[in-house]
Chains A and B, each alone.
Chain A
Amino acid sequence: MRNKVKVTQFTKREHRDFWLFISPWLIGFIVFSVGPIIAAIFISLTEWNILSPPIWVGFNNFINLFKDKVFYAALINTAYYTVGSVILGTILALIVAILLNQHIRGVTIFRTLYFLPSVTAGVAVTILWLWIYNPEFGLINYFLSLIGIKGPQWLFDTRWVLPALIIMSLWGIGSNMMIFLAALQNVPQELLEAAEIDGANTWYRFWNVTIPMISPTIFLVLVMSTIGAFQTFMQPYVMTRGGPGNASMLYGLYIYFNAFQWWKMGYASALSWIMFIMVFILTLIQFRVSKSWVYYETTEGR
């Protein structure tokens, strides 16, 4: 009986400490995330230029949104960019991680080098790429000219601007590469050895042992990258301002233009809510589909 009381007090103290330690994050989350999300619902039902009191317009912003040609352009561009950057970025990050997981001399230097772009300031990198893509004196077109190819106008070509942004996004694979590297190093050696004894070649070991073992990590990277790609803003803002025409008008950029350049906070909030719903549904689908290909060691892990 005495013991039972002690456990209860301990549990109580544990609970108290839990809430105490988590409270800074929790307060921040409620004030800076949940608060604005709820406020955005109200704002999306108003016409508000920030400076004057909001005017109630009901669902007009949502109705107008579906009549807006740029909204559809932004949606298509963002889908294109997301598919391209997430798939290519994930595959490339995994390949680089596998290469850097080899036990060769100087591998630490290579790991640092590949991770370095991820810690470089975003705008500086963007300006650098602006020069790399310059059709006249940019590095890419210069190298293409050496083999007799006339490079495209990149950021000024409606067909090439999104591929250019996707290629540029690969510059930042370092973070995902590090996550994959950690996952690869956690693949149980005994499983790989057992497969080898069973006669599995390198490809079979990779496909049937490594991939299933790191599938939760691949899933995490896919989900996080998809959300990140949907929110891409800085690159098109600095490099193209959504042009030429609306060819690189990504959804995040369109929200920014509406909110902070054109002073249409209500419309921007409606756009944000649509994006939130889309990303939410997409993530749900990803979770549902993941059941068929993501392997967890414990059933609770699901």
Chain B
Amino acid sequence: MKRFLVFSLTIVFILTLEVTSFAQQVVTLRVAHAWEPTFLDVQKKFDEEFMKRHPNIKIQMENYSWDNVLEKYQTQAVAKTLPDIFYVHFSWAQNFIRSGMLMNLQSSIDKDPSFNMKDFFPVAFTPFTYKKDTYMIPYDCGAIILYYNVDLFKSAGLSFPNKNWRLDKEFFEAALKLTKKDDKGNIVQFGLDRGPSLDSEVIIPALKSFGGRYMNDEETELYLTEPKTIAAAKWWTDLITKYHVAPTPAESQGLIEPFTFGKVGMTFGGSWMLERWIRFGKFKADVQEWPSGPAGRFTSCAGSGYGISAYTKYPKEAWIYLKEYLSKDGQIFMWGKTGRGSPTRRSAWSSFEDAWKGYNVKAFRNAMNYAEYVHPYSSVAAQLTQIRDREIQLILLGKKSVEEAFKTIEDESIPLMIKANK
């Protein structure tokens, strides 16, 4: 009996040791970002705090240059060496999801009420879902709204943009008045920059404001040859080709964002441009919601997110990190307080507003209530974008009419869209 007791106690002791050592096993998670170097300290601080809260999870941060992050992921995906958690730009999301690179997060979200999906702006998830399942969690989502140079408005004697502004009235008149020429007739200041470009971020509100439309939500149809769409596009492109209140592509060549140089009265952009245009600009600027058009007020929004690799060995720990990283507190710490990006959680938004006190950043939040996600974001988005931008550039250079260019866009894009949705 005594021998049996000693034997049993020994077994229990060994088992306890095993269990304890298993419980203390440290898991290392590789987390990849694409931050600019100046933002890395914030990231490191978050990871340190996380590791204090979770001593069994070690975070190995990897930061990739924005210029080659996509190629890096492509290579890692082929080699199945993707980081456990990684940054994803919205335009890559559908390709990543459909290729099986990302873990389906839906069951983790459903099982975890503390994650509180209702706190998020629903539109922010648009490109990150597939067949109603969520594969990535967006960390920022910014509506595209109007930026204006306060100094230039003041010197032109114009009142600042307000919520009642109309595109075809106050906005147009301001663009005309803000455009200035020197004695030789050379334009030295433009009223407007972006808008006539009809690029991904602006094309939806630009066309819809005048009753036109771009493509359907499923990205299976284009509406570019509809008369109202053509008329809307003409209104915008006329701002360059007829009124010359915005620089032509040739005039803005070599200048990445002409608004940055303080020689443009108005432009459109997302919340991520606040830092460049308001904090570091050598002029005073502010923001206002997208002016309404004859058909109403519209805008689009875009952002990025984080996903968990389908090849991770530690899905449970990865979810713990992702959940905390994109929790209310995580978003406040990373993007709200720093003013780096407009949070996707409503509860974290006031911290972003505090970071930009004195500016009308509420306009971004208001716009999020009616914004729709930018298009295209399907698996052929890059090619569709290239075709559209190429043709619109030809319109702005006076080489093609809107009708011709839009017909070409449809002819070349629709077969790709059909194939992508097969």
Residues in chain A within 8 A of chain B (CB atoms)? 49-52, 127, 130-131, 133-136, 153-156, 158, 241-246, 257, 260-263
Q: How far is the CB of B307 from chain A (nearest CB, A)?
A: 13
Main secondary structure of the interface of A (DSSP, over half): loop
Q: Contacts A51-B95, A246-B390: A262 and B382 contacting too (C-beta < 8 A)?
A: yes
Residue B99 CB within 8 A of the other chain = yes
Of the listed stretches B12-20, B41-49, B71-79, B211-219, chain A binds B71-79
| CB under 8 Å from chain A, chain B span 391-415 | 393-394, 397, 399
Interface residues on B, range: 20 to 34
Q: What residues of chain A lie closer than 8 Å to B182, measured between beta carbons?
A: none
21 A-B pairs whose Cβ atoms sit less than 8 Å apart in the complex: A49-B95, A50-B74, A50-B77, A50-B78, A52-B98, A52-B100, A130-B254, A131-B254, A135-B250, A136-B251, A153-B397, A154-B250, A155-B250, A155-B253, A156-B248, A156-B253, A244-B393, A246-B390, A257-B386, A260-B70, A260-B74
Known: A136-B250, A261-B382. 6 other contacts (CB 8 A): A51-B100, A244-B397, A260-B71, A261-B383, A262-B380, A262-B383
Q: Contacts A244-B394, A261-B382: A51 and B253 contacting too (C-beta < 8 A)?
A: no
Contact A245 B394 (CB under 8 A): yes
Pick from B74, B186, B383: contact of A51, CB under 8 Å: B74
Q: What residues of chain B lie closer than 8 Å to A263, measured between beta carbons?
A: 95, 379, 382
- In the assembly, what is the distance between CA of A244 and CA of B100, in Å? 36
Among B77, B96, B250, B386: residue with most chain A CB under 10 A: B250
Contact A156 B99 (CB under 8 A): no
Q: What residues of chain A lie closer than 8 Å to B393, measured between beta carbons?
A: 156, 243-245
Q: What residues of chain A lie closer than 8 Å to B227, measured between beta carbons?
A: none
Residue B249 CB within 8 A of the other chain = yes
- In the assembly, what is the distance between CA of A241 and CA of B101, in Å? 29
Contact B96 A127 (CB under 8 A): no
Q: How far is the CB of A77 from chain B (nearest CB, A)?
A: 14
| CB under 8 Å from chain A, chain B span 350-407 | 379-380, 382-383, 386, 390, 393-394, 397, 399
Chain B, residue nearest A128 (CB): B254
- In the assembly, what is the distance between CA of A245 and CA of B394, in Å? 6
Pick from B78, B96, B98, B399: contact of A244, CB under 8 Å: B399
Chain B, residue nearest A239 (CB): B253
Q: What residues of chain A lie closer than 8 Å to B248, measured between beta carbons?
A: 156
Q: Contacts A245-B394, A261-B382: A49 and B249 contacting too (C-beta < 8 A)?
A: no
Q: How far is the CB of A103 from chain B (nearest CB, A)?
A: 42
Contact A243 B390 (CB under 8 A): yes
- In the assembly, what is the distance between CA of A246 and CA of B393, in Å? 11
| B38-70 Cβ-contact flags toward A at 8 Å (1 or 0) | 000000000000000000000000000000001
| CB under 8 Å from chain A, chain B span 73-102 | 74, 77-78, 95-96, 98-101
The 5 residue pairs across chains A and B that have the minimum distance between CB atoms? A51-B99, A156-B250, A262-B383, A130-B254, A52-B99
